[in-house]
Chains A and B, each alone.
Chain A
Amino acid sequence: MNFFKRAWLNLTAKKGRSILLILVTSAIMLFVLAGLLIRNAADTATNNAKQSVGATVTLSANREAAFKKMRSSTSTSKTSRPKLTTSPVKLSDAAKIAKLNNVASCTATVSTSANATGFDAISTSGSSDSNGGGMKGMGGSTTSSGDIAISGVTSTSATSAFENSSSKITKGRGITTADEGTNNVVIESELAKEDSLKVGDSIKLKATTGTKKTYTLKVVGIYKASSSTSTQQGPGATDPANSVYTSYTFANTVKGAKYKNTADSVTFNVSDPAKVSSVKTAGKALINTSKYSLTTDDSSYQTVKASMANVKSFADKIVWLVAIAGTIILALIVILMIRERRYEIGVLLSLGEARWKIVAQFFTEMVMVLIVSIAIAGAGGKFVGNQLGQQLVSQQTTTATTTSSTSTQQGPGGSGAPGSSGTGSVSAQKQAELDINVSVMDLVELGGFGLAIMFLSIMLASGGILRLQPKKVLID
């Protein structure tokens, strides 16, 4: 193994050339490493997204079946007005589903409305006047909605509006499971300002249906809805500032006695987004599917997954492009080096050295250079990887969010409740950060790439050694 010693002596004697080789190789390794790091980080981000990005299954009334029923009843009894009857979700059903594997938590939503009594609801110009207070005098339809939209929830923090930060508690606290059975309420900051309401104050709401009773509620918190939420409101809904959160039990009370222990919908958070469809299948077996339906929403996960797949494929391209370019560059350098060292090669040949051992000497020299370069690249790789990764992610997320915001607008609850805003976009942005770190495995992988690059470039350049006539050492 004399070629090891020759390689070492050569590298240490020709320091200038060795340093140049190390610099070039380090640059190549740095880019390969950056690509590998981004690719691995994208994998990790996708896995993390599985755990942290919410995927949900929602139990609600089967509207499709209800519509069908309505149409068939219309055809038989033409006298009566068509009526859409949907059954509220029974909490006992929900409890069964909540016990399934992979269901992390569940939150019930009950939407209703009531009229502000003793304080003013925010009125937006025009349309909103036809509702609420204005309607009373006209003695109109019994199904008219009040001017305050009530979202009965299990806890505010579990609603999508709070989860994706489009709504935030600014004073006091949100609704929690501890508020079940109480008349505690969380109101919007605009409404609080308009009526000078503070945490601890009381407001009165009059039910528009059922008993038409008046309830006194205690303000326990004030939230601020970002303006984007308001764009989600359907026509005929009240101003978003008139949306209040209470415990779902209060909302049921307002709706009437028969709504006790029910909800408009119950949303289950699934711990592993990949298990969403199996939860749905298992859940369907537990409910009456003609009355209720289970819908899934794993769009946030899909968004992150898609954006990370883009980042990954780009990183793959970087790795291959740099690897190919690096091989060519190094092959050219080695070709030049072999030309410059043809006398040395000639002497070795004249001493009877096997050609493959001369090739092996060059390969060993390059591997020694590679080892130093990998150490250098390892030190600088985190920095370059971070820069490149940030750039890539910000591009990818922008494109991904534009697509998601158009596709995932329907939310549970349906009405003008603030809980119905899109889910995908904001949380995707939150998750799509690449955590770039250089691990030993990364360096091993880089070493594999480096060895392959060195091997290929030496193979490409070794023609010069294999063809060199030993006689050239005598006659030039």
Chain B
Amino acid sequence: MLKANDIGYWYDRQENSLFEHVNLEFKSGHSYAIVGQSGSGKTTFLSLLAGLDKPRAGQIELNGEPINQLGLTNYRKSHVAIVFQSYNLFTYMSPLNNLLTAMAVTSSSHKGDKKFAMDMLQTLGITDEQMTKNVQKLSGGQQQRVAIARTMVCDAKLVVADEPTGNLDEENTQYVIEQFQKIAHEQHKCVIIVTHEPDVAAACDYAYRLAKHEFTLEA
């Protein structure tokens, strides 16, 4: 569903490009890991897939249509959901309001459906009591669960995550890995996870390594 067509990116000068001539395809119902050394450009690449920035060369296509033709804001609103390393929830809201807000902003088909949001939080192990108190009173693992629930209540078919387990302990990491696989295999979404943790990469259907400005598929 998502295709990188010959894309390249550099910050200041083309000679220092992070990667060039990248051609990759990501399909619905599958999970992908992107691994590589720190500073290799994984996050930058993900920001292009998420429509947060434009590639310097080439283009990204969603089901055959270039995403800048869709409009990046519209693309983010309707087609992509992001999970961050530092959760990036609305700190002044409860978990429930975080979900309701995301549903209201994105083109979710469940806008205003409180029950739907509560069920989703429940599924991810957030209790009724935790749902309505300030989100910052939850542990890191719980906050990341809320962030994952947020991607699930939006209708986006593409879920991207940047080091989603970076701040989590073993147990929560395992839980989050499972959730991402469920999203890919049970909800038939396309999941792309940037990670440096072998466990996370191993759980994904495919793993690409970014090294020496190139992506290579790992066994």
Question: Which residues of A are in contact with B by a Cβ distance under 8 Å?
Answer: 2, 5-6, 9-10, 13-14, 343-344, 346-354, 469-471, 473-475
Residue pair B91, A474 in contact (C-beta under 8 Å): no
Nearest-neighbour CB distance to chain A for B104, whole angstroms, equals: 4
Question: Closest Cβ of chain A: how far from B73's Cβ, in Å?
Answer: 5
With A10-B92, A473-B88, A474-B162 known as contacts, the answer to whether A352 contacts B43 (CB < 8 A) is: no
Tell me which of B76, B84, B90, B162 contacts A344 (CB under 8 A).
B90
Tell me if A475 and B97 are in contact (CB < 8 A): no
CA distance A346 to B50 in the complex (A): 13
Q: Is the CB of A2 within 8 A of B105?
A: yes
Residues B105 and A469 in contact, CB atoms below 8 Å apart: no
The 9 closest A-B pairs by CB, nearest first: A352-B77, A13-B92, A352-B76, A2-B104, A471-B52, A470-B52, A351-B105, A471-B53, A471-B47
Residue-wise, chain B 93-124 has the 8 Å CB interface mask toward A (1 for contact) of 10001000110111100000000000000000
Residue of B nearest to A355 (CB): B73
Contact, CB under 8 Å: A9 / B46: no
B68 beta carbon closer than 8 Å to chain A = no
Q: Is the CB of A351 within 8 A of B44?
A: no
Query: B53 near A469 (CB under 8 angstroms)?
Result: yes
The reply on B40 being an interface residue by CB < 8 A is: no
Bound Cα distance from A5 to B82, whole angstroms: 23
Rounded to whole Å, the gap between the CB of A369 and the closest CB of chain B is: 15
State in angstroms the CA–CA spacing of A348 and B97 once bound together. Answer: 14
* A9 in contact with B97 (CB, 8 Å): yes
B9-62 residues at the A interface, CB under 8 angstroms: 43-44, 46-47, 50, 52-53
Q: Decide yes or no: A343 and B88 within 8 Å by CB, A9-B93, A474-B47 being known contacts.
A: yes
Which residues of the other chain, A, contact B90 by a CB distance below 8 angstroms?
A: 6, 9, 344, 347
Any chain A CB within 8 A of the CB of B130?
A: no
Tell me if B78 is interfacial: C-beta within 8 Å of chain A. Answer: yes
Q: Is the CB of B47 within 8 A of A352?
A: no
Q: How far is the CB of B95 from chain A (nearest CB, A)?
A: 13
A310 to chain B, nearest CB (A): 49
When C-beta atoms are compared, the residue in chain A nearest to B88 turns out to be A347
For the complex, what is the distance from the CA of A350 to the CA of B50, rounded to whole Å?
8
Nearest CB of chain A from residue B11's CB, rounded to whole Å:
10
| Distance between A343 CB and nearest chain B CB, rounded to angstroms | 6
Known A352-B73, A471-B53, A474-B46; further 17 A-B contacts with Cβ < 8 A: A9-B92, A13-B93, A347-B89, A349-B76, A350-B82, A351-B105, A352-B74, A352-B75, A352-B77, A352-B106, A354-B73, A470-B52, A471-B47, A473-B88, A474-B47, A474-B52, A475-B44
Give A174 to B105 CA distance when docked, in angstroms.
83
**Residues of A close to B84: CB separation below 8 A:** 473-474
Closest residue of chain B to A11 (Cβ to Cβ) is B92
The reply to whether the CB of B134 lies closer than 8 angstroms to some CB of chain A is yes
Taking CB as reference atom, which chain B residue is nearest A346?
Answer: B88
- Expressed in whole angstroms, the Cα–Cα distance for A352 and B106 within the complex equals 6
A69, B128: Cα distance in complex, Å: 109
Total count of chain B residues near the partner, CB < 8 A: 31
Q: What is the distance, in angstroms, from B18's C-beta to the closest C-beta of chain A?
A: 12
Task: Give me 17 A-to-B residue pairs in the complex whose CB atoms sit less than 8 angstroms apart, sorted by A's number.
Answer: A6-B101, A9-B90, A9-B92, A344-B91, A346-B88, A350-B76, A350-B82, A350-B88, A351-B102, A352-B75, A352-B77, A352-B107, A470-B52, A471-B47, A473-B52, A474-B84, A475-B44
Q: Which residues of B contact A348 (CB under 8 A)?
A: 105
Q: Which of A6, A347, A348, A349 has the most CB of B within 10 A?
A: A347
Instruction: Name the one of B43, B93, B101, B105 contacting A475, with C-beta atoms under 8 angstroms.
Output: B43
In the bound complex, residues from chain A placing their C-beta under 8 Å from that of B101 are 2, 5-6
Task: State the Cβ distance, B74 to closest chain A Cβ, in Å.
Answer: 7
Q: Mark B127-148, 1 if CB is under 8 A from A, else 0.
A: 0000000100000000000000
Most chain B beta-carbon contacts within 10 A, residue among A6, A14, A349, A351: A351
A471 — which chain B residues lie within 8 A by C-beta? 47, 52-53
- A347 to B105, alpha carbons, bound, how many Å? 11
Expressed in whole angstroms, the Cα–Cα distance for A9 and B73 within the complex equals: 24
How near does chain B come to A356, taking the closest CB pair, in angstroms?
11
The residue of chain A having its C-beta at the shortest distance from the C-beta of B89 within the complex is: A347
Chain A residue contacts of B134, Cβ below 8 A: 13
- Alpha-carbon distance between A352 and B93 when the two chains are bound, in angstroms: 19
Asked whether, in the complex, the Cβ of A353 is within 8 Å of the Cβ of B44, the reply is no
Tell me whether A351 and B77 are in contact (CB under 8 A): yes
Contact of A352 (CB < 8 Å), options: B44, B53, B78, B97: B78
Least CB distance from A13 to B in Å reads 4
C-alpha spacing A13/B44, complex, angstroms:
33
Max chain B CB contacts within 10 Å: which of A349, A352, A353?
Answer: A352
A5 contacts across to B, CB distance below 8 A? 101, 104
Give the distance in Å from the alpha carbon of A13 to the alpha carbon of B133 in the complex.
Answer: 11
A475 to B89, alpha carbons, bound, how many Å?
Answer: 16
CA distance in complex: A6, B105 (Å)? 11
Find chain B residues with CB under 8 A from A349 CB: 52, 73, 76
Minimum CB–CB distance for B108 against chain A, Å = 10
Chain B CB within 10 A, most for which of A2, A5, A10: A2
CA–CA, A350 to B46, complex, Å? 12
**Minimal Cβ-Cβ distance residue in B for A350:** B82
A13 to B136, CA, bound (A): 11
Residues of A within 8 A of B76 (CB): 349-352, 470
CB contact under 8 A between A353 and B162, given known A470-B52, A471-B53: no
Query: Whose C-beta in chain A lies nearest to the C-beta of B46?
Result: A474
A107 to B106, CA, bound (A): 83
Give Cα A474 to B82, complex, Å.
Answer: 10
Instruction: Please measure, in the bound complex, the distance between the C-alpha atom of A351 and the C-alpha atom of B100, giving whole angstroms.
Output: 12
How far, in whole Å, are A343 and B89 apart by their CA atoms in the complex? 9
In Å, the complex CA distance between A6 and B101 comes to 8
Contacts of A475 in B (CB 8 A): 43-44, 47
- Residues of chain A lying within 8 A (CB to CB) of residue B52: 349-350, 469-471, 473-474
Residue of A nearest to B71 (CB): A352
B contact residues around A343 at 8 Å (CB) = 88
